[in-house]
Chains A and B, each alone.
Chain A
């Protein structure tokens, strides 16, 4: 696919590198990559692949841009808050490089559509934010015989690798099973340094370009462990698992499965804020109860530093991670309402309390954010 004069000027800094050159830039123009998720990781990956001249970029995301995304999802902007993420990203990428093709898939990436969406692309890039979609993306890559450029992030830590079952291990070789539901917090619950996906995402973009160009040593069979606080880049070796269920010697997975059932969690990282109808209490109900004769104990299971953002007067703070060890501080005979930021951690706390014999417990549905929206509008939502 020859370059136009305009493209030769645009990519001149690439053409000067002998490892890329005219031939390499033509490979980039002829190449295609599917980015699953246009969030923290998908932002830098899509921007750099577009800038580098990857000819066809597919974007999968069903979400809309929220102002809380903009601390890290730099492909979007204040002017696109409320718009579809794939359309927001497409406009930015085409502004950066109008010479490429950007395909958008404004749908959840599921077992029903994933193979069809991914089939036309050379490389898959993991920008997912939840375990079901991550396992799905891996299985799609293995079944279609494509490379998957992997990245994941939490707070100050990032991981990156290239999974290509034809030449090395896949994601399931490293992580045969997901964690039990609720054991590993999402970024929506635990937070993430805004720059972290920039670091990991640009590494993913680098790996994708190397794969297309056929240069350098790909991160196949190696896992990068990055820590922003220590500013450390560590590598560990990955090996193919002969017993892997999808790429092992006697692989049993021949088609896509039900990934939400496999992982026991939904295929998104939005906080559901509910412990189930029988355990939930909505914010206006709690407001009425608190002004009555027998107000409940309020148990705040957020981290102490979150109390500076918003708090309910009189609430007892025991972070979820410390709750099991501090149950003796609670009176099981007293009625209690548990809350957190949005209702996810408190739902887990409620499960723990009930399993420990506490019966008179309720979960504040939607957490203190719901209280801030529905009862006390002077409190911020975060």
Chain B
């Protein structure tokens, strides 16, 4: 089962979890599982048209899905899906 890893910025919407197991064999399917179980996170990832927000990056292990197959990138049992949003503090 792939694992989701999120930064502190988003744990609020996941009952304070920074890691979660997800079901789904693609990034899109895993995100559907995530937003079904935790709908409050959806507006932080997707705009009103359902597109991935441009300040959000998704990495499967160390690779950005933009340089793989986008939301259709396959996810294996041991893969880690990382959400990397832009962060403002300094």
Contact = CB atoms under 8 A, between A and B. Distances in A.
A309 interface: no
Given A154-B7, A184-B9, A321-B12, A134 B57 contact: no
Interface in A183-234: 183-187, 190, 192, 197, 223, 225, 227, 229-230, 234
B10 to A, nearest CB: 10
B44 to A, nearest CB: 7
A157 B63 CA distance: 20
Interface in B46-69: 53-55, 57, 59, 62-64, 66-67
Contacts of A324: 40
A235 B59 CA distance: 10
Contacts of B53: 179-180
Nearest to B8: A155
A129 B86 CA distance: 12
A172 B88 CA distance: 14
A55 interface: no
A30 interface: no
A177 B90 contact: no
A40 B90 contact: yes
Contacts of A187: 88-90
B18 interface: yes
B44 A183 contact: yes
A129 B85 CA distance: 15
A274 interface: no
Contacts, number: 110
Contacts of B85: 179, 184
Contacts of A184: 9, 55, 85-88
Residue with the highest number of chain B CB atoms closer than 10 Å, among A152, A154, A185: A154
Contacts of B18: 227, 229-230
A225 B87 contact: no
Interface in A112-146: 126-131, 134
A287 interface: no
Given A225-B7, A239-B64, A153 B89 contact: yes
A321 B7 CA distance: 16
Interface string B12-47: 110000100000000000000000000010011000
A184 B8 CA distance: 11
B45 to A, nearest CB: 10
Interface in A41-59: 41-42
A154 B87 contact: yes
Contacts of B8: 154-157, 227, 229
Nearest to A151: B90
Contacts of A322: 40
Contacts of A40: 89-90
A260 to B, nearest CB: 14
A367 interface: no
Contact of A321 (B13, B57, B67, B82): B13
A325 interface: yes
Nearest to B59: A236
B64 A237 contact: yes
B64 A41 contact: no
B1 interface: no
B84 interface: yes
A192 B87 CA distance: 12
Contacts of B63: 236-237
B64 A129 contact: no
Contacts of B5: 234
A225 B84 contact: yes
A157 B9 contact: yes
A380 interface: no
Nearest to B55: A179
Given A179-B86, A187-B89, A154 B64 contact: no
Contact of A234 (B57, B66, B82): B82
Interface of B: 5, 7-9, 12-13, 18, 40, 43-44, 53-55, 57, 59, 62-64, 66-67, 82, 84-90
7 contacts: A42-B90, A134-B88, A152-B88, A159-B84, A179-B55, A184-B87, A227-B8
Given A39-B90, A41-B90, A184-B86, 4 more contacts: A129-B88, A155-B9, A237-B63, A238-B64
